[in-house]
Structure 1
Amino acid sequence: MSSASKDALPLRHPVRVETITLRPMTFELAAPQSDFATIARHLGVASLESLKASYSLSRNGDRVKLEGKIGAALHQICVVTLEAFPVALTVPVKLDFLPEAEIAAAAGADQGEGEIDIEVLLNEEDPPEPIVDGVIDLGAITLEFLALALDPYPRKPGASFDELAPETAPESPFAALARLKGEE
């Protein structure tokens, strides 16, 4: 993500890595009501009523561990009725961070000269996220995880997509030909 696109995020809460200690530190984040409309547009939802996040960060050398949860109340548009309906979400978050240079060095060491080798291992932890310019933006993390938790095809409780009653099947062109042939 470029720095220009990060500047466009409607929720920012940068934390300098050097301020994070070995002992877990708690960070509380609450979106101001004045930003609700902008955040709702960013997420593609009808409205946002509340957005709070609580994170615990700890640092061991260059590695930062983040755990927490996001709570949000919002309205999404039902794909069946096109009506807004309330949604309450609680999203767990767990990430590891390493400086960008260390991730790039590790990726370079894994690959030979000019070769691309992709190995997918199941049931393994996600690779660490990069620490860019010594900062972790809790606002960006909050928006990213909330966006991922949203139902891409929200359906209002009780809404059902009823099939239209089947019309009488159109007449086969061969049946029409047979009828014409019989009239001769």
Structure 2
Amino acid sequence: MTASSQDTLPFSHPLRVETITLRPVAVDLAAEQGELAAVASFLGVASAEALKASYSLSRNGERVKLEGMIKASLHQNCVVTVDPFPVELNVPVKLDFAPEAEIAAMARPSEDDEIDIEVLMNEEDPPEPIIDGTIDLGLVTLEFLALALDPYPRKPGVAFSEPAPETPAESPFAALLQLKRGE
């Protein structure tokens, strides 16, 4: 993420990596009232009433480990009734960060490597990049919150029922057929 794209985020909290120690550093974030409307718009929800995140960060050399919890109160629109309804989210977060150069080196195949794509289900995710010595905790919060949202939210107790099939209108030729038969 570049500095210019950070300016467009509704919830940005950059943290310099050098402020993180070997011992866990606790960081608590809370969206201010003015940021909540922008967060709701960014996430595509009806409204956001509260957004808090508590993180614990520790550093080992150039790598950073982040663990924490996001708590959010918002309203989503029901896909059946289109009415907004309240949603409470508690989202666990666990990420590793590494410098951009280290991640680029891991992604670059050597000359003798064959191109072979294999998906390992139990393999850990690669680390996220540390950009210009900074981790944006606001961006992490927004990304995990967006992933936790139900893409097809349904208000509790509302069920989708398929509309009854329409009875076909009588064909205009049916009257002619009746005349032909002499009915």
Query: Is contact 1:99–1:131 with CA below 8 Å preserved after alignment?
Result: yes
**Are 2:33 and 1:16 aligned?**
no
Q: How far 1:124 moved relative to its partner? A: 1.2
Structure-2 separation of matches of 1:59 and 1:94: 14
How do residues 58-97 of structure 1 correspond to structure 2 at under 5 angstroms?
A: 58-97=58-97
The 1:104–1:56 alpha-carbon spacing in structure 2 relative to 1, beyond 3 Å, is same
Query: Is contact 1:76–1:154 with CA below 8 Å preserved after alignment?
Result: yes
Q: Structure 2: which amino acid aligns with 1:48?
A: A
Q: 1:54 — aligned with what?
A: 54
Aligned residues: 181
Deviates more, 1:1-10 or 1:26-35: 1-10
Q: How far 1:158 moved relative to its partner? A: 0.8
Task: Indicate the percent of aligned positions where both proteins have the same amino acid.
Answer: 68
Structure-1 separation of matches of 2:2 and 2:14: 15
Unpaired runs of 5+ in structure 2? none
Q: Structure 1: which amino acid aligns with 2:65?
A: K
Q: How far 1:112 moved relative to its partner? A: 3.0
Give the TM-score of the pair, scaled to structure 2.
0.88
Q: How far 1:9 moved relative to its partner? A: 0.3
Query: Is contact 1:14–1:136 with CA below 8 Å preserved after alignment?
Result: yes
2:39 partner SS: helix
Q: How far 1:117 moved relative to its partner? A: 4.1
2:5 partner SS: helix
CA RMSD, 1 decimal: 2.6
Q: 1:101 — aligned with what?
A: 101
Unpaired runs of 5+ in structure 1? none
Deviates more, 1:16-25 or 1:4-13: 4-13
Give the TM-score of the pair, scaled to structure 1.
0.88
